[in-house]
Amino acid sequence: MQIYKVGGAVRDRLLGRPVTDIDWVVVGATTEEMLAKGFRPVGADFPVFLHPKSGEEYALARTERKSGRGYGGFTFHASPEVTLEEDLIRRDLTINAMAEDDQQNLTDPYHGQRDLEARLLRHVSPAFTEDPLRVLRVARFAARYAGLGFTVAPETLALMRQLSESGELEALTAERSWKEIARALMEDQPQVFIQVLRECGALKVLMPEVDALFGVPQPEAHHPEIDTGVHTLSVLEQAAQHKQPLTVRWACLLHDLGKGLTPEEEWPRHIAHEHKGLKLIKAVNERFKAPKDCQELALLVGEYHTHGHRALELKPSTLLELLQSFDVYRRPQRFEEFIAACEMDARGRKGLEQRSYPQADYLRGAATAARSVAVQPLLEKGFKGPELGEAIKRERLKALKAYKEQA
């Protein structure tokens, strides 16, 4: 049997990027031979094994054919006769279809190295369209390697468009899509992920609520970039530049969905877009079964981001309501993430990327003031149950009034 390193490990070594996962392909072996060498089989379906010591994945060389809709609809054929070239041709991109032996000799029948040099994400063969998840994968790779100058080859974009129009994307499970979305949002240029999905028509299918923001104007005084879609991309870009966590990036992507619902006669104003957007944010959250912390933050940022921007003008009672809505006393981290998302929203505007955001410290100070109210003295005064709750609120309001006066 011959063993080769394949896929991302080869690609990233050639790009001079750190290699984390190594995938191996085994040519000329049977399942029985692998088991005899102590490899552990993974699942019942695929001829994939884990190395007895390293735990890395070793797959028997295989060919695949699509036999149904969606991700599950594959038949594959693995046998010692399947060649390395046959295994590589079923893969998604030329830069992912290279193999390397233990002497670092490269097998590159589909010119992955040439495309690495040309900075092109190009499909290997028409079999690309057999797996709709590849639309998201290519957009994710575009987001990761945009900084190196990579773009999607026009002929690959055309296949992605074909897949998007075919209805195949709807067959993807929420879990598989979310995994790609989450990874893509954590790349260096997550806005490129959304841009590429939009260019191939996949955004309209996956997140029509985000797609609808393009072409919707906002008042130029606050938004020199005008277009709401362009603004959303800039907010996401800022979030990545400021190394924000996934929760914040997800909230940034969805914060303005309500603006897509404004009747054209009301443009460029978007009255109550915060509230109108909530049902759309909820729909996107649920469509991809986003984790609970992402869902929650997206809804809170959607509803309250304008409060964040107006923090310095808010009445103490409104500030208190804001802090209560976030349950800032028990969930201080979530409030920090809200502040971060508001700041990214403020900076994700053309020419305003470097602006300062005094609202952030002001909100932090307000949270500290409200949290400083001690409960013990109120208990000692004999407050209980709902009355205790009211008394705490009164004290917090007093603290916020004092805070606002001295700020």
Residues that bind ligand CTP (CB under 6 A): 7-8, 21, 23, 91-92, 96-97, 131, 133-134, 137
Cis peptide before 377 (omega within 30 of 0): no
Q: For residues 232 and 341, what is the distance between their CA atoms, to the nearest angstrom?
A: 12
Of 144 and 259, which has the nearer Cβ to ligand CTP? Answer: 144
Q: Are 346 and 355 contacting, i.e. CB atoms less than 8 angstroms apart?
A: yes
The distance of closest approach from Cβ of residue 363 to ligand CTP in the complex, given in angstroms and rounded to an integer, is 37
Q: What strands lie across the sheet with 40-41, from one edge to the other?
A: 40-41, 48-50, 57-60, 23-27, 2-6, 99-100, 106-107
Of 124 and 314, which has the nearer Cβ to ligand CTP? Answer: 124
Of 62 and 137, which has the nearer Cβ to ligand CTP? Answer: 137
The distance of closest approach from Cβ of residue 134 to ligand CTP in the complex, given in angstroms and rounded to an integer, is 5
Of 130 and 209, which has the nearer Cβ to ligand CTP? Answer: 130
Residues in Cβ contact with 322 at an 8 Å cutoff, skipping those fewer than 6 apart: 304, 307, 314
Q: Both tokens of residue 55?
A: 């735990």
Of 134 and 259, which has the nearer Cβ to ligand CTP? Answer: 134
Amino acid of residue 168: E
Of 110 and 403, which has the nearer Cβ to ligand CTP? Answer: 110
Task: Look at the block and give the residue holding tokens 């191996």.
Answer: 24
The distance of closest approach from Cβ of residue 176 to ligand CTP in the complex, given in angstroms and rounded to an integer, is 9
Q: Both tokens of residue 402?
A: 């004092």
Of 178 and 362, which has the nearer Cβ to ligand CTP? Answer: 178
Q: Both tokens of residue 101?
A: 């032996």
Of 129 and 151, which has the nearer Cβ to ligand CTP? Answer: 129
* Environment class of 336 (CB within 10 Å of its CB; exposed 0-12, middle 13-18, buried 19+): middle
Q: Are 209 and 224 contacting, i.e. CB atoms less than 8 angstroms apart?
A: no
Longest CA span, the chain: 84
Of 92 and 337, which has the nearer Cβ to ligand CTP? Answer: 92
Q: Cα Rg for the chain, rounded, in angstroms? A: 26
> Parallel, antiparallel, or unpaired: how do β-strands 57-60 and 23-27 relate?
parallel
Which residues is 23 bridged to in the sheet?
A: 6, 57
The distance of closest approach from Cβ of residue 121 to ligand CTP in the complex, given in angstroms and rounded to an integer, is 12
Q: Are 59 and 23 contacting, i.e. CB atoms less than 8 angstroms apart?
A: yes
Of 45 and 265, which has the nearer Cβ to ligand CTP? Answer: 45
Q: Are 166 and 205 contacting, i.e. CB atoms less than 8 angstroms apart?
A: no
The distance of closest approach from Cβ of residue 353 to ligand CTP in the complex, given in angstroms and rounded to an integer, is 29
DSSP 220: T
Q: Both tokens of residue 235?
A: 């907010």
The distance of closest approach from Cβ of residue 341 to ligand CTP in the complex, given in angstroms and rounded to an integer, is 26
CA distances (Å), origin 98, targets 9, 13, 48, 91: 9, 11, 19, 10
The distance of closest approach from Cβ of residue 234 to ligand CTP in the complex, given in angstroms and rounded to an integer, is 25
Amino acid of residue 14: L
The distance of closest approach from Cβ of residue 256 to ligand CTP in the complex, given in angstroms and rounded to an integer, is 29
Nearest residue to ligand CTP, scored by beta-carbon proximity:
8
Of 185 and 281, which has the nearer Cβ to ligand CTP? Answer: 185
The distance of closest approach from Cβ of residue 19 to ligand CTP in the complex, given in angstroms and rounded to an integer, is 9
The distance of closest approach from Cβ of residue 170 to ligand CTP in the complex, given in angstroms and rounded to an integer, is 17
Q: Are 343 and 356 contacting, i.e. CB atoms less than 8 angstroms apart?
A: no
The distance of closest approach from Cβ of residue 294 to ligand CTP in the complex, given in angstroms and rounded to an integer, is 20
